[in-house]
């Protein structure tokens, strides 16, 4: 099975915790990760889950499940996993809808991806304890930037203007 984590937006623009309550639905949904079916044929997502590293004081990072999937993902199609409760897509900014074929939600109105320590999205099959794909990004990703896959890392895209 060839599912590839291709990009992530782990640090949406704006304050994580506005002064008057929690983040808005649009801000929660602005934190996301994408994976694509690169198998060459449709792939069953039954049993596939998305994990990440959690951090706590005075102990090693631990893997935590974010989301389980089911159904079939057609070849070349992209799933975007947004943070937050399932929402009507009309509350999500256009920039956070573009580029994905399917939109799913973590189900919890909390941010998922770690900024201070970096993080590692992992696609995993629990029944066989098989890693499908894993990538990582470094601590303190830039605010509002979509990180893209480069080898095993998710990194900020290089500006063409910077190369002139």
pLDDT tens for residues 30-63? 999 999 999 999 999 999 999 999 988 888 999 9
Q: Which of 162, 161, 163, 142 is nearest to 10 (CA)?
A: 142
Containing 43, the helix (H) or strand (E) segment is: strand 43-44
Surface-to-core class of residue 162, CB atoms within 10 Å of its CB (0-12 exposed, 13-18 middle, 19+ buried): exposed
β-pair type (48-56, 122-125): antiparallel
Judged against a pLDDT cut of 80, whether residue 159 lies above it is answered with no
Q: In sequence order, which residues have a C-beta less than 8 Å from that of residue 23 and are 6 or more positions away? A: 16, 17, 109, 111
Q: Which residue has the tokens 């499940």?
A: 65
Q: Provide the pLDDT confidence category of residue 7 given band limits of 50, 70 and 90.
A: very high
List, for residues 109-139, the tens digit of each pLDDT value. Answer: 999 999 999 999 999 999 999 999 999 999 9
Whether the Cβ atoms of residue 68 and residue 49 lie closer than 8 Å to each other: yes
Judged against a pLDDT cut of 60, whether residue 97 lies above it is answered with yes
60-63 CB contacts, 8 Å cutoff, 24+ apart: 61/117, 63/122
Q: Is pTM beyond 0.95 here?
A: no
Average pLDDT, the chain: 92
Tokens representing residue 113 in the block: 């991806």
């Amino acid at each position: 099975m060839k599912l590839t984590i291709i990009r992530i937006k782990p640090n949406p623009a704006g304050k994580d915790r506005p002064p008057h309550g929690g983040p808005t639905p649009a801000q929660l949904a602005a934190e996301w990760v994408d994976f694509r079916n690169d198998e060459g044929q449709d792939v069953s997502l039954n049993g596939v889950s998305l994990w990440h590293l959690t951090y706590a004081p005075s102990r090693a990072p631990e893997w935590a499940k974010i989301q389980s999937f089911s159904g079939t993902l057609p070849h070349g199609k992209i799933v975007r996993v947004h943070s937050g409760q399932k929402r009507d897509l009309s509350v999500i900014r256009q920039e956070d809808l573009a580029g994905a074929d399917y939109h799913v939600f973590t189900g919890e109105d909390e941010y998922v991806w770690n900024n201070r320590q970096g993080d590692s999205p992992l696609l995993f099959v629990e029944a066989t304890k098989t890693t499908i794909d894993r990538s990582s990004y470094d601590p303190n990703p830039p605010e509002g930037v979509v990180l893209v896959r480069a080898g095993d890392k998710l990194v900020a895209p290089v500006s063409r203007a910077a190369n002139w």
